[in-house]
Amino acid sequence: MPVILGRLADAFAVLGGAILLIIVGVTTANAGAFILDRIAAFFSADVAGLPGYEDFVQLMISGAALMFFPYCQAHRGHVSVDLFMERMPQVLRRQIDRAWLGLTAGMALFLAYWMIYGLIEARADGVLTSVLGWPVWPFYLPGIASMILWALVAMSQLGEGARHA
């Protein structure tokens, strides 16, 4: 696999992890606000949770979750059934691996296509989040880029001859 694809997959995973840390921080702040609200109720006070918390988390996780797929593919971290595969001849294992790499690349491109279609529709319809009023379509972009990178990594591995059986 070309070094640039591997580094790009690593960068996507790090960015996805950073987004998850931000989500954890916002979730902690929101939960803390609810705890403070329960305590403040004894003093006839009110502490509000973060407005738009659900909108924010939904939009952020939609991209962050997909950003780990290219890294997983680059490091061959996908699930395989070794129980059956280890008993097969090396030639057959290589062919099955190549078939799955091709299928994975095709599936990732298929998902990217439909995400692009969804982005176009969300933009044309002017879809906004219910509380924050943010446009939804820009949050499709990290997912689309992740699907395309995932497909490129799988195609690169396919081009290498699928060394790892």
State how far the alpha carbon of 81 is from the alpha carbons of 34, 87, 97, 115, 158, in Å: 45, 11, 11, 30, 19
Element (H, E) at 76: none
pLDDT for position 40: 80
pLDDT for position 163: 52
User: Rounded to an integer, what distance in angstroms lies between the CA atom of residue 127 and that of residue 134?
Assistant: 8
User: What are the extents of the domains in the chain?
Assistant: 3-159
User: What averages of pLDDT result for each successive group of 10 residues across the chain (165 residues)?
Assistant: 90 97 95 86 81 93 94 83 78 89 96 97 96 95 97 93 52
Q: Which long-range contacts (CB under 8 A, 24 or more apart) does 134-138 make?
A: 134/55, 134/59, 136/59
Q: How many CA atoms lie within 13 A of 131 on its CB side?
A: 11
